Amino acid sequence: MTTVGILGGGQLGAMLAPALQDLGADVHVFDPDPNAPALRRAARAVSGSWRDVPRLQAFFDACDVVTYEFENVESEGLARLEGLGKLCPSLDVLRTTQNRVLEKEFLRAHGLPHVAFVDGRTAAGLSAAAFEFGFPSILKTARGGYDGKGQWKLASVAELDALLATPARAVLDASGWVLEEPIDIVLEASAIVARERNGDEVVFPLFENEHRDHILDVTLVPARLTDDLEAEAKSVALAAARALGVTGLLTTELFVGRSARSRPGEVRVFTNEFAPRPHNSGHVTRKACTFSQFEALARILTGVPLVPPRLVSAGAFCMANLLGEVWEAQGAPASLDLSAWEGSPDLLEVVLYGKKDVAAKRKMGHLTVRAAGPEEAIAAARAAREAIQRSGPPRSV
């Protein structure tokens, strides 16, 4: 039996664990938060700090292979461990993808299409670089950002100066920064590549993503892209996975849109960022594809060969996130009232992650629907979400 360790105990780990167990693996989970949902799915749950090297070492020693579902794991602690060959994707992949400066420099070095940028490792040169780069621009911290946290849209030098007079300066100084061009986005997409230890790889159908307040709102598959743009997006994602040498999953977030700097007017693909792990947009694969992103990673980690994933049927599939707002007033439900949807063949799943604390913008669960076409699928997913919200807490628990 293979023992697989997962660093991070959020919903990604909670959905990965059963996929691993279905392949006969024993699952161990490590997370600093003793309430993290995936800890409850594990044969062995370890709660400790990312800096607790002895505890991390013991966790590694008990596993045959270790992956991570959270890319802000502090790599400094991991770097001190023995047996790092067990980590998939590797520590190098984690380091590159958790730091926007390294990530952007990787894109540039490998000639992958990216958003125009300048970067720096301390706040010292930021003002001068921004002045030269021009405005409007988007400033991002190199580390620790997610769901739009750690980024600012800047219209002028005055706005940058105002920002640098706040505590954000210390964060930018400690973390490094990237300043990039705002893209006139036609649509956002993501591509998940699953790559085996021997280099065999498959790519999932492309996902189309709509964000609200910088947080993923809905994911649609198939994406509404021309064949040319879809082929380009897939080839960028595959090239990136190869160049990084990923064993596991690599999610590539892409912008499809126009740049004012290079070839104005032309709609192109730009790589935004990577996640070397299952991705929120990939939840749609649970119902839309012949196997899910979680099953793909589970196969790689347990040495079961992959076949190319396909959509299970014609039509369109849409995943909608259930954020804390849905239940904030009442608290998280212990069970859902799905009576309005009982028997509906189009609502394929509703998943709650079992997080203890409900908070605005916190991802509490998701649902997936199927419909004849893309617009209907998006509308049906949003309608199902609203119905669940209206139904409020369960009638009896």
User: Which residue ranges make up the site for Mg ion (CB under 5 A)?
Assistant: 253
Stretch of 61-69, 122-130, 179-187, 325-333 contacting ligand ADP, by CB under 6 A: 179-187
At residue 348, the 3 state secondary structure works out as: strand
Which residue from 145, 205, 309, 333 is in contact with ligand ADP, where contact means CB under 6 A?
A: 145
Q: How far is the CB of 158 from ligand ADP (least distance, A)?
A: 21
Q: Smallest Cα–Cα separation from 191: which of 112, 265, 138? A: 112
- Give the CB-nearest residue to Mg ion: 253
Cα–Cα dist 241/203, whole Å: 10
Q: Smallest Cα–Cα separation from 386: which of 211, 218, 224, 222? A: 218
* Residue 208 binding result from Mg ion, ligand ADP, none, given CB thresholds of 5 to 8 Å by partner type: none
Peptide bond into 136 cis (omega under 30): yes
- φ/ψ (deg, to 5) at 178: -130, 135
Site for ligand ADP in 208-237 (CB under 6 A): 211, 214
Q: Can residue 138 be called a binding residue for ligand ADP (CB under 6 A)? A: yes
Stretch of 73-81, 145-153, 196-204, 352-360 contacting ligand ADP, by CB under 6 A: 145-153
Q: Pattern 93-122, binding to ligand ADP, x per CB under 6 A?
A: ----------------------x-------
* Residue 245 binding result from Mg ion, ligand ADP, none, given CB thresholds of 5 to 8 Å by partner type: none
* Radius of gyration, CA atoms only, the chain: 21
Stated as kind and residue range, the H or E segment containing 216 is strand 215-221
Which residue from 71, 188, 208, 346 is in contact with ligand ADP, where contact means CB under 6 A?
A: 188
| Closer of 68 and 341 to ligand ADP (Cβ) | 68
Stated as kind and residue range, the H or E segment containing 319 is strand 316-323
Buried b (16+ CB within 10 A) or exposed e, 138-149: bbbbbbebeeee
* Cβ partners under 8 Å of residue 128, min gap 6: none
Stretch of 181-189, 229-237, 306-314, 379-387 contacting ligand ADP, by CB under 6 A: 181-189
| Closer of 180 and 253 to Mg ion (Cβ) | 253
**Binding-site size, ligand ADP (CB under 6 A):** 17
Which residue from 26, 147, 232, 337 is in contact with ligand ADP, where contact means CB under 6 A?
A: 147
177-180 and 117-120: which strand pairing?
antiparallel
- φ/ψ (deg, to 5) at 300: -60, -45
Cα–Cα dist 366/387, whole Å: 13
Q: How far is the CB of 143 from Mg ion (least distance, A)?
A: 14
Q: Can residue 31 be called a binding residue for ligand ADP (CB under 6 A)? A: no
Cα–Cα dist 244/252, whole Å: 12
* Residue 108 binding result from ligand ADP, Mg ion, none, given CB thresholds of 5 to 8 Å by partner type: none
Side-chain half-sphere CA neighbours of 359 within 13 A: 5
* Residue 148 binding result from ligand ADP, Mg ion, none, given CB thresholds of 5 to 8 Å by partner type: ligand ADP
Q: How far is the CB of 178 from Mg ion (least distance, A)?
A: 13
Number of DSSP helices (H) and strands (E) in the chain, helices first: 12, 17
Site for ligand ADP in 272-291 (CB under 6 A): 272-273
| Closer of 204 and 327 to Mg ion (Cβ) | 204
Q: Can residue 392 be called a binding residue for ligand ADP (CB under 6 A)? A: no
Cα–Cα dist 278/200, whole Å: 18
Tokens of 18: 């059963």
Binding site for ligand ADP (CB under 6 A): 115, 138, 145-148, 180-183, 185, 188, 211, 214, 253, 272-273
